[in-house]
Amino acid sequence: MKHTILIVEDDEPMRLLLDVLLKKDHKLVFKNDGLDGMRWLSEGNIPSVIISDFKTPNMNGFDFFTSISQSGMFSEIPFVFISCRTDEAFKNRCLKLGAKGYLEKPFDPDQLYDLLDGIFNDKIEQ
């Protein structure tokens, strides 16, 4: 079974990289920013996980994450940040607020695979 992953990323090279890394085993949906991601979700789409960059136009990844985590309908969707922000305090804040992972760009693909495997295995056990 292929998991659907919503990827919120406006940088085309990063989108291409994520596509190459994940398309074999997952169904990928790409949105340019958090606002586009919210629209897609509001159409009744529920992904297995959301991967989002922090810095996107219109609605940044943190505001998108906050909206998701406060929503009764979407709050259970695991959320992973992939960002250039290396600020440990910010990273810890995201994790404390409920993000399932935070990868700093550039990241090791194995870190992403391991993180997603952990998320999907947790869902199976529940």
pTM of the shown model: 0.94
The 10s digit of each residue's pLDDT in 41-84 is 999 999 999 999 999 999 999 999 999 999 889 999 999 999 99
- The whole domain housing 69 covers 3-125
- Residue that wins the pLDDT comparison between 116 and 123: 116
Total structural domains within the chain: 1
Strands (E), the chain: 3-8, 26-31, 49-52, 79-83, 101-104
CATH of the domain at 115: 3.40.50.2300
The predicted-structure confidence for 8-52, as pLDDT tens digits, reads as follows 999 999 999 999 999 999 999 999 999 999 999 999 999 999 999
Distance separating alpha carbons of residues 40 and 33, to the nearest angstrom: 11
Residue 72's pLDDT is what? 86
Q: How confident is the model at residue 124 (pLDDT cuts 50, 70, 90)?
A: low
- Dist. CA 108–CA 76, nearest whole Å: 26
| DSSP element (H, E) containing 66 | helix 61-70
